[in-house]
Amino acid sequence: MGKTLKLGLFGFGCVGQGLYHVLHETRGIKAEIKKICVKHPEKKRALPDSFFTYDKDIILHDPEIDVVVELIDDADAAFQIVKAALQNGKHVVTANKKMLAENLEEIYHLQQQYNRSVLYEGAVCGSIPIIRNLEEYYDNDLITEVSGIFNGSTNYILTKLFDEKKNYACALAEAQQLGFAESDPSLDVQGFDPKFKLAIVLAHAFGVFVKPDDIVNFGIDRISASDLAYAQQHNLTIKLVARAFKTGNTIHGLVAPQFVEARSPLRHIYNEYNAVQVRGAFSEKQLFVGKGAGGYPTGSAVLSDISALRYGYRYEYRKLQQHTGTVYSNDITVQARVRFPADQVIPLHHFLELQSGYAGARDQYLIGRVHIDTLKAWSTDTATGLILAPEPDFAPARSIAKPDGLLVA
């Protein structure tokens, strides 16, 4: 089975340490960490000093090192490391979703140019092997949708809110303490982290490269007590749902909180677990569930990528090659429940269809159909809250319906 792979690590945080332990407790894989590049010489480390370096070139220019494992926080620095590693003839394994999402098209071309492989299963939904499955298994299927819970820390927070009746601040603090949250929690709670993952999924599911800026994300940080009460009254819960889907020849993407019914498989995904649903024309609904956060699950995914490199594995990006004029677009509408402050004049012209409305002492609510561009505008307006309908019923944009004779309770 050939020689032992020599690894050069960048970063030795939660995932790096998880990888180290997983590697040392399995016997199936011949790989060993030769060097670890870290930033802070002053930090106390769990391994002997000889493992560590503070100079990235020690790893990048070591001809013995076959694989660079990139596990640092900073996306720009990470991309420079990935580029340099490929240029120096090394394969790369990375779990950096932001770096990947922002540079995926270039990384695709760099792999071709230098004939080296970049694998990143650990970047998307922790231990769930979704990229590998999209690559390997769904290449002959007509995929219509890939959606689900792509972020462990927000799902942890939502579980605490709904199933344990804790408040938001307390739940967030717990998630951070357990190491589930990103170092900057706004990446999680505002839906950026699942958006980065969604950009990666879009390439492997539908063969389109989409910049994260072109995908709309709405966070969970504005869920109010009355949203919780509404959900409870209607036997619903709220999940942060990332979704890539197809209408005709057009691909769409969106990250937003959504009401979820009791019978939905997403209802029963608790704590730091993630879930990915794949809808295909023939295999119909597939669901993958696994831990989406934490050093061990992600370390295990990273190690699987390292193991795959021993067999010469590389992503084929087959959907790109089967590409037949599909385009990415945000020209789509969706049903949602929108919350405005009581004293605000409701921008009715943004509603393409109105279903119902309610005005309370502090807030007013409208349930209706809105354009994704409107949703994007509201996402930066902290006064406005929004949660998608249980079956959000996406539909291409059309002329604005007249919202006459409606409201107000």
User: Using CB under 8 A, which of the segments 5-13, 55-63, 150-158, 320-328 binds a copy of itself?
Assistant: 320-328
State the DSSP string of 321-382: HT--S-EE---EEEEEEEEEETTSPP-GGGEEEEEEEEE-SSEEEEEEEEEHHHHHHHHT-T
Q: Which two tokens stand for residue 329?
A: 């677009």
Strands 91-94 and 363-371: unpaired
Nearer to a copy of itself, 29 or 173 (CB): 29
Whole-angstrom Cα distance, residue 277 to residue 332? Answer: 21
**107 or 125, CB closer to a copy of itself?**
125
> For the window 345-364, what string marks contact with a copy of itself as x by the rule CB under 8 A?
--------------------
What is the spatial distance between Cα 19 and Cα 61, in angstroms, rounded to a whole number? Answer: 23
Nearer to a copy of itself by Cβ, of 304 and 384: the residue is 304
Residues 273-312 binding a copy of itself (CB under 8 A) are: 280-291, 296-297, 299-301, 303-304, 306-308
Range 95-154, binding a copy of itself (CB under 8 A): 127-129, 132-133, 136-142
Candidate residues 2, 3, 25, 349; the one interacting with a copy of itself per rule CB under 8 A: 25
Binding mask 248-277 for a copy of itself (x = CB under 8 A): ---------------x-x-xx---------
Ramachandran region, residue 263 (left: φ > 0; alpha: ψ -120 to 50; beta: rest): alpha
248: number of Cβ within 10 Å: 7
390 is an interface residue for a copy of itself by CB under 8 A: no
Q: Which amino acid, residue 35?
A: K
User: Catalytic: 197?
Assistant: yes
126-130-131-137 Cα dihedral, nearest 10 degrees: 160
Cα–Cα distance measured from residue 199 to residue 30, given in angstroms and rounded to the nearest whole number: 32
**Looking at 34, 35, 160, 197, which residue is catalytic?**
197
CA distance 368 to 337: 7
Of the residues 322, 344, 355, 356, which one makes contact with a copy of itself according to CB under 8 A = 322
- 380 scored as a contact of a copy of itself (CB under 8 A): no
Rule CB under 8 A: is residue 18 a binding residue for a copy of itself?
Answer: yes
Where along the sequence are the contacts to a copy of itself (CB under 8 A)?
Answer: 1, 18, 22, 25-29, 127-129, 132-133, 136-142, 263, 265, 267-268, 280-291, 296-297, 299-301, 303-304, 306-308, 318, 321-322, 324
Which active-site residues does the annotation give?
Answer: 197
